[in-house]
Structure 1
Amino acid sequence: MKIATGKVVGGKVVVDGGPLEEGASVTVLARDGENGFTLSPEEEAELLLSIAEADRGETISAEEVLAKLARRRG
């Protein structure tokens, strides 16, 4: 999996950096107004690792997440 940024030019997405593989399936998340965000290289690496874990089915249920949050709130 690869994360890429870009801009719409002439109605088409132009990706920054090297080209994507021909025929690659992509998901486009368009910023709504000025509510975008920027990741540091470390944050991007962590995000990619997390996405890979999810792709392998290494997830936890919503109930587990909520229980952990409740314990933190004490």
Structure 2
Amino acid sequence: MKVATGKVVGGKVVLEGVSLEEGTSVTVLAKDDDGSLELTPEQEAELLLSIAEADRGETVSAEEVLAKLVHRRG
């Protein structure tokens, strides 16, 4: 998996400093005009890594997460 940034130019996404093979599947995260999603480059990279983990089935159930939260509260 590669993480890249770019801009839309002429209706197409133009990546900065990365070239991909023709036909490569990509996921694009775009900022909304209302600013509802604001991520630093580091947060965006972490999000993309987490998405990749989920795609591979590397997930934790809601029950496990809730149990850990309850345990932390003591």
Residue matched to 1:13: 13
With normalisation by structure 2, the TM-score equals 0.68
Comparing 57-66 with 29-38, greater Cα deviation is found at 29-38
With normalisation by structure 1, the TM-score equals 0.68
After superposition, residues 1-74 of structure 1 pair within 5 angstroms as 1-33=1-33, 34=35, 35-40=37-42, 44=45, 48=49, 50-51=50-51, 53-74=53-74
> 2: distance between equivalents of 1:63 and 1:7?
40
> 2: distance between equivalents of 1:56 and 1:4?
21
Contact 2:6 2:14 in 1 (8 A): yes
Q: Which runs of 4+ in 1 moved over 3 A?
A: 50-56
Please state how far the C-alpha of 1:12 moved relative to its aligned partner.
Answer: 0.8
Please state how far the C-alpha of 1:55 moved relative to its aligned partner.
Answer: 3.9
- Secondary structure of the residue aligned to 1:72 is helix
Please state how far the C-alpha of 1:53 moved relative to its aligned partner.
Answer: 4.1
**Cα distance change of structure 1 residues 51 and 69 upon mapping to structure 2, 3 Å threshold:** same
RMSD, matched Cα:
2.6
Percent identity, aligned pairs only?
73
- Secondary structure of the residue aligned to 1:19 is coil
User: Runs of 5+ in structure 2 lacking a partner?
Assistant: none
